[in-house]
Structure 1
Amino acid sequence: MQLDIRAQTLLKALVERYIADGQPVGSRALSKISGLELSPATIRNVMADLEEMGFVASPHTSAGRVPTPRGYRVFVDSLLTVQEIDEAALESRLQPKLLSNPPQKIIANAAQILSSLSQFAGVVMTPRNESTFKQIEFLRLSEKRILLVIVAPNGEVQNRLLLTDVDYTPPQLIQAANYLNQNFGGLSFEDARIRINGELRQLQNDMTRLMQAAVEAGSDAMADHSDDMVISGERNLLNVEDLSSNMTSLRKLFDMFEQKTSLMQLLDISSKATGVQIFIGGESQLVPMDEMSIVTAPYEVNGKIVGTLGVIGPTRMAYERVIPIVDITAKLLSNALSH
């Protein structure tokens, strides 16, 4: 729905003032801060129109108005002026925390950076390429019991026990491992599974079943070993009155952090988009609380998007400051993880 310049200016002024002090904004205040030469009566008429269109609402306890989720959406999509920050200075400050560390530590540091700069919660979805393998090996433990040894590209080793229908001989196990390593090493277990199903019909049925069991167990092993996400600064949200004002809100907040399902779904969707995305509670089924917003951006490893990071905070957050923080941290994390 199109808003004229006057309505846009007043909506922008109202959202910015409400973000700043958290109090409903009245017509008299808007006449002072909007820069428009309008009478309070005219401003009240425009506000009534904005309320009818669903962009602002009137709390029962005040004559002023507050933005609705729909009003926030128009603000962040069309009216927001992103704050200019000294990108070079911020990079020089953050880069030491994202260098010369193992990937898990770099990701944890990125979540802490997002939290400390925003004063809300920082979240990083861990890379999805953890399921790739460099090499596997089969060790016969006893009849129909095989130890699967998985070596990840970073040298990490995982073990899984396979219980088979067939008693494979050591030469058969060596043959199967060599075939998998030569043809599928460096691929994800999912890609290997697809290719095995399509390409190995000419091999003995027992050997095919062994390889299928190996890639399924390997995929499960890598998934079990890596946390889906790293969250830092959850306690900061306890200081945000909009999110912790009652027990129902607190319960929803901690359910989200404990179960992680809706948050993972949201981050997964963000990884398929380009650039910074803003999810506003009340308009997005993925955000569990009306008073919560999540600002996200995907990050890459060697040019391939592998995950998402973001800031979790109140709907009443300083988007103009949080957006560049999320954007720059995503770029720095991409650089740190790409070798």
Structure 2
Amino acid sequence: MATSGPNLPELPNERAQHLLKVLVQRYIKEGQPVGSRTLARDSGLDLSPATIRNVLSDLEELGFVKAPHTSAGRVPTIKGYRFFVDTLVKLRPPQGDELKLVQEVLQSAEPQSLVQTASNLLSSMTQLAGLVTLPRRVHTALRQIEFLPLSDRRVLAILVLNDRDVQNRILHVHRDFSADELQRAGNYLTEQFGGRELHTVRESVLAELRETRASMNDLMVDAIEMAQQAFPEQEPEGAFVMAGETNLMGLEGLADMEKLKRLFTAFSEQRDILHLLDQSLHAPGVQIFIGQESGYQLLDECSVVAAPYLNDDDTMGVLGVIGPTRMAYERVIPIVDLTAKQLATALKSRN
């Protein structure tokens, strides 16, 4: 598992590590400071509360736990969560019906709704906010464009992309064209724009029309105008879709309405969240940002669990969840990992 925290000093001994693990698990489950008597009961170790208090003091001195002012118990710090995630957590991957659900939902989704479906899955399975960046298309190159005549001033545009992908679009034109005219228009556009990345072709077409229209013959102008319809408008690079933002309302650390408003504004503006997700684009697996590790004050009370999704060897985007630092990491991490792999499989099958 790839993580993004600092190198941590070793804990004094295995006993202290075990007690920290039990403390973090108990705090994640209950949300209340954990005292020495609770640890003595839950740890399975034959230790007195007094001995456990001494161990907790050592952990506090090392910065792994802290004592809230109103309680004699301890809660994990960001450093404590980081050590737990990196070293102590035992992951619980989805099994049986849950695994089958992820596979079936993504495989049956319409191509245009795959990203939203993945975001909805992440949100519903974790009860946190799920987000998925739109697939990047930097490796989608135009090989050829052909036009075929249809009835009622319509033309079928056939875009051949890379080696296997073919996209069809029906264009509405101002007059009927002969098959010969359409063949010459397709040959002209293939010669001018073949080999270019698809997301740049539309802008190139518009530039061509602006700069050389006066010197074009009528068929060339018609070809360029048909190309404007045939090539998709460029999507905002790296934009993402979210689901389940309202799951964050009322969660510990995120209940303050002003804080939630600022967080939802960041979701809407996308820039800072995208910058954070970009750090996971080339990670070898799941990337985890806990509290201040994100570098964004708005996320100081949050954790982000993210992973890249691929199409063959090409990184297409990033997906993940945002929730409180007190999240069930043992469950959330495998869900993010599984969804990234299954989204990659679904994308590949669409090719």
Measured against the shorter chain, the TM-score band is 0.7 to 0.9
Indicate the residue corresponding to 2:190 in structure 1: 178
Q: Which amino acid aligns with 1:242?
A: G
Indicate the residue corresponding to 1:255 in structure 2: 265
Q: Which moved more, 1:3-12 or 1:36-45?
A: 36-45
Alignment of 1:1-339 (within 5 A): 1-3=9-11, 4-86=13-95, 88-129=96-137, 132-134=140-142, 155=167, 177-181=189-193, 183-185=194-196, 187=197, 221-224=233-236, 228-243=239-254, 245-286=255-296, 288-339=298-349
CA distance in 1, matches of 2:249, 2:166: 38
- C-alpha distance 102-180 of structure 1, shift in aligned 2 (>3 A): farther
CA distance in 1, matches of 2:248, 2:26: 21
Judge conservation of contact 1:131–1:222 (CA < 8 Å) in 2.
no
What is the total number of aligned residue pairs between the two structures? 297
How far the C-alpha of 1:108 sits from its partner, in A, is 0.8
Judge conservation of contact 2:145–2:186 (CA < 8 Å) in 1.
no
Question: C-alpha deviations, 1:162-207, integer Å up to 9, x for none?
Answer: xxxxxxxxxxx988733343x515x35579x9xxxxxxxxxxx989
How far the C-alpha of 1:92 sits from its partner, in A, is 2.1
Describe the SS at the equivalent of 1:282. Answer: helix
TM-score by length of 1: 0.76
CA distance in 2, matches of 1:277, 1:18: 22
- C-alpha distance 20-101 of structure 1, shift in aligned 2 (>3 A): closer
CA distance in 2, matches of 1:222, 1:157: 16
How far the C-alpha of 1:255 sits from its partner, in A, is 2.1
Q: Which runs of 5+ in 1 are unaligned?
A: 138-148, 160-172, 194-204, 208-217
TM-score by length of 2: 0.73
CA distance in 2, matches of 1:111, 1:174: 38
- C-alpha distance 74-94 of structure 1, shift in aligned 2 (>3 A): same
Judge conservation of contact 2:135–2:238 (CA < 8 Å) in 1.
no
* RMSD (CA atoms): 3.7
- C-alpha distance 156-28 of structure 1, shift in aligned 2 (>3 A): farther
Judge conservation of contact 1:252–1:289 (CA < 8 Å) in 2.
no
Q: Which amino acid aligns with 2:334?
A: P
Q: Which amino acid aligns with 1:17?
A: R
Q: Which runs of 5+ in 2 are unaligned?
A: 1-8, 147-156, 172-184, 204-210, 214-229
How far the C-alpha of 1:20 sits from its partner, in A, is 0.3
What stretches of structure 1 move > 4 A for 4+ residues in a row? 149-154, 156-159, 173-176, 188-191
How far the C-alpha of 1:287 sits from its partner, in A, is 6.8
- C-alpha distance 122-30 of structure 1, shift in aligned 2 (>3 A): same
Describe the SS at the equivalent of 1:300. Answer: strand
